[in-house]
Amino acid sequence: MRAWLISNIASGSTDAGTLESLPALLPDIDIVGHSGFPAEALPSVEKLDSQDVSLILLLAGDGTINAAATLYDNWRGAVLILPGGTMNMLASSLHGSAGIAEIARAVTAGDAVRTTLPYVAVGDRRAYVAAIAGPASLWAHAREAVRSGRLRQAWRATRLAWLRSFARGPRVRGCQRACSSAILLLPESEAIEIARIGVTGWMEAARLGLDYVASDWRRSPNVDIARANGAVLEGGRSVHMLFDGESARMRLPLTVRHGRSRLVFLATRPEALDMGRRAQAA
């Protein structure tokens, strides 16, 4: 099997040593090319096909995976996601808590199945982990400043994000709550979980923070949750959003819909294996 490696060494847990270890961990896979994103562009579908590539190895975080998954959605090959970021939510959904070596052993032994991933589409953008709309999404700028070591910019971005977290945000058309500090759109297998978070003061923010630490944030009185196949975001001219951690400014209103990738992913986690087998049977 011929593969192309895509990595992002700034994602969080990817380093040169990990990259060098991959050929030994995957002896049955011939890595014929490597792109270090974002310094290098993602290879085109034509380039992959010209090299007879049938597998993409994605050693990166969720933001890089999002970019690749969207670009290659109509590609005929498959993708193996390896945990190389900070949160690694997509890798966890496909492989559980397994590390790179354990995932590689499962793939080499043939203990992996092909499956697809659900996503949330907002306008022309997709989120495979979560899309966040509203002033609270500005925390992404603070995170990026910290990751790049720009402490002065990180402080400014943190202060701005904190202040804007209490500002009026977008609303979901037809919902009782007029505006939200943040709207979380989470892709599930057959629908979208829509969490509307309303924080208007310090006490509410503290309460939500405590609920989050206790892993019980969905039960917070400041959070309304619904499930639907689609929605419309409105309330103003534009909104700041995060798509799997990557920021964007988008004009309102925005149509939200549930989708499922055409691109195939290799999965080794038991729950993902069952999902993949059901997809193959269908």
pLDDT tens for each residue of 177-224: 555 667 889 999 899 999 887 655 544 554 544 444 445 555 666 677
Nearest CA among 119, 141, 261, 122 for reference residue 183: 122
Give the lowest-confidence range in 7-11, 59-63, 115-119: 7-11
pLDDT tens-digit map of 131-182: 988 765 555 555 555 555 656 665 565 555 555 555 566 788 876 555 566 7
Query: Is residue 267 over pLDDT 80?
Result: yes
Q: How far is Cα 89 from Cα 38, in angstroms, rounded to an integer?
A: 20
The mean pLDDT of the chain is 80
Other beta carbons less than 10 A from residue 101's beta carbon: 12
Give the lowest-confidence range in 143-157, 187-201, 232-246, 262-276: 143-157
Q: What is the pLDDT of residue 225?
A: 84
Query: Is residue 233 over pLDDT 60?
Result: yes
151 touches 270 (CB < 8 A): no
45 touches 52 (CB < 8 A): no
Query: Is residue 60 over pLDDT 80?
Result: yes
User: Can you tell me the mean pLDDT for 59-79?
Assistant: 94
Please give the C-alpha separations between residue 15 and each of 18, 20, 101, 135, 154, in angstroms, as whole numbers.
5, 9, 15, 33, 24
85 touches 245 (CB < 8 A): no
Per-residue HEC secondary structure of the chain comes to: CEEEEEECCCCCCCCHHHHHHHHHHCCCCEEEEEEECCCCCCCCHHHHHHCCCCEEEEEECHHHHHHHHHHCCCCCCEEEEEECCCCCHHHHHHHCCCCHHHHHHHHHCCCCEEECCEEEEECCEEECCCEEECHHHHHHHHHHHHHCCCHHHHHHHHHHHHHHCCCCCCEECCCCCCCCCEEEEEECCCCEEEEEECCCCHHHHHHHHHHHHCCCHHHCCCEEEEEECEEEEECCCEEEEEECCEEEEEECCEEEEEEECCCEEEECCHHHHHHHHHHHHC
Query: Is residue 10 over pLDDT 90?
Result: no
Q: What is the pLDDT of residue 191?
A: 94
* Tokens coding 205: 């923010």
Query: Is residue 234 over pLDDT 70?
Result: yes
pTM above 0.85, yes or no: no
Task: Walk across the sheet containing 55-60 and list its strands.
Answer: 30-36, 2-7, 55-60, 78-83, 264-267, 113-115
Q: What is the pLDDT of residue 214?
A: 46
Q: What is the pLDDT of residue 18?
A: 84
- Phi, psi dihedrals of residue 176, rounded to the nearest 5°: -70, -40
User: Can you tell me the mean pLDDT for 62-69?
Assistant: 93
Q: What is the pLDDT of residue 278?
A: 41
Q: What is the pLDDT of residue 101?
A: 93
User: Can you tell me the mean pLDDT for 257-274?
Assistant: 84
Q: What is the pLDDT of residue 228?
A: 92
Q: What is the pLDDT of residue 86?
A: 74
Could you tell me which residue, 228 or 163, shows the higher pLDDT? 228
Please give the C-alpha separations between residue 78 and each of 74, 169, 227, in angstroms, as whole numbers.
11, 38, 30
